[in-house]
Amino acid sequence: MSDRYSRQILFAPIGIDGQRRIEKKHVLIIGLGALGSSISEMLTRAGVGKLTLIDRDYVEESNLQRQQLYTEMDAKEKMPKVVAAKHRLSEINHDVYINAIVGEADILILEQLAPNVDLIIDGTDNFEIRFILNDIAHKYNVPWIFGSCVGSFGSTYTIIPGKTPCLHCLLQKIPMRGQTCDTVGIIAPTVQMVTSYQVAEALKILSESEKALRNTYITFDLWENQYLSIKTSDAIRNMDCPTCGKERTYPFLAFEEQTKFAVLCGRNTVQIRPSTISHLSLGELASQWKQAGYEVKQNPYLISIQKEEIRLVLFKDGRALIHGTNDPAKARRIYYSLMG
């Protein structure tokens, strides 16, 4: 083993055996924004064997203040976050295998991935996906680590199927904030605080040091100097919970629960997902739209077109982001008018 991980190996709770275990593990990170980009960098530097990254978005200038993997050039080229992340992470540690997926973390792809991963980490910004992750993790008995941050406020919780209350149980007892980074902002230290807790827990799981895991839900406000750690006992766990109870139905894995039109929280943007996955010819569409007089920008992964105050970003699988409206009906009309 090279000197690369010597300081991590010197940390007695990990040691040489723990490092070898870490190097054999596969981690799935959902969302490569502020949380996910920080988590993926720390795990890459720690020498995890394989990372699978999923994100539906691309880099924008407003991301650069806190999403540490990305550059001004990534934003200028509207590079998908997982593509930019894979490039940077490969430069950091070429021994880590990076599987980058540009797209939605939907039920179909998660069902394929979950049986083959050792840990799932939440880097998302909405509870629709988190409830799907919660069901997936319990269906396939995979640990997962929740994380959330906005403003100077952050929270995190480690969920071990069969041993801890699940997210569904937890939300019945602990209220969550409805604010978003796009409505009240965020400072970078909040991100680093949450991801430090998440990655510390991840290293315990990956090195098979489960006895050191927290059994608390942590929440803090860095600006107001507040910190709270809530012990999550069996009293919180609901035996009638459809996700982790005695009779499990995994309600959030029902296909009809997936929304085709989703308003992205706080962003004045609607995401449209096609009913079937199709692989579009971006070059042909770009040519058509240029001829029609639209302002068109393109890279190998997406096309961006501007129409007055509305901007549409179309990905190769047919998924689209309609910026400039939070009205699904209006977004639908724009989408179909442009797609013919």
pLDDT tens digits, 65-123: 999 999 999 999 999 999 999 999 999 999 999 999 998 888 989 999 999 999 999 99
Count other Cβ atoms within 10 Å, centred on residue 92. Answer: 12
Rounded to the nearest angstrom, the gap between the alpha carbon of residue 72 and the centroid of all alpha carbons in its chain is 21
Q: Are strands 50-55 and 97-102 parallel, antiparallel or unpaired?
A: parallel
Q: 192-201, 279-288, 315-324 — which is least confidently predicted?
A: 279-288
Residue 251, pLDDT above cutoff 90:
no
**Contacts of 296 by beta carbon, 8 Å cutoff, 6+ apart:** 286, 289, 290, 303, 304, 305
CA–CA dist 20, 76 (Å, integer): 39
Per residue, the 3-state secondary structure of the chain, as one string, reads CCHHHHHHHHCCCCHHHHHHHHCCCEEEEECCCHHHHHHHHHHHHHCCCEEEEEECCECCHHHCCCCCCCCHHHHHCCCEHHHHHHHHHHHHCCCCEEEEEECCCCHHHHHHHHHHCCEEEECCCCHHHHHHHHHHHHHCCCCEEEEEEEECEEEEEEECCCCCCCHHHHHCCCCCCCCCHHHHCECHHHHHHHHHHHHHHHHHHHCCCHHHCCCEEEEEECCCCEEEEEECCCCCCCCCCCCCCCCCCCHHHCHHHCCCEEEECCCCEEEECCCCCCCCCHHHHHHHHHHCCCEEEEECCEEEEEECCEEEEEECCCCEEEECCCCHHHHHHHHHHHHC
Residue 21, pLDDT above cutoff 60:
yes
Catalytic member of 166, 181, 241, 244: 181
CA–CA dist 179, 196 (Å, integer): 22
Distance linking the first and last C-alpha atoms of the chain: 57
Cβ proximity of 30 and 20 under 8 Å: no
Can you read off the two tokens belonging to residue 86? Answer: 């894979």
Count other Cβ atoms within 10 Å, centred on residue 160. Answer: 18
Task: Dump pLDDT digits (tens) for 252-296.
Answer: 887 545 556 676 655 778 888 776 656 667 787 788 778 777 788
Conformation bin of residue 142: beta by default, left when phi > 0, alpha when psi is -120 to 50: beta
Tell me the pTM. Answer: 0.83
Task: Dump pLDDT digits (tens) for 198-244.
Answer: 999 999 999 999 999 998 999 999 999 999 998 887 657 788 888 99
**pLDDT for residue 174:** 47
Query: Which of 37, 66, 8, 55 is CA-nearest to residue 187?
Result: 66
181 is catalytic: yes
Largest CA distance in the chain: 64
Average pLDDT, the chain: 87
**pLDDT for residue 236:** 73
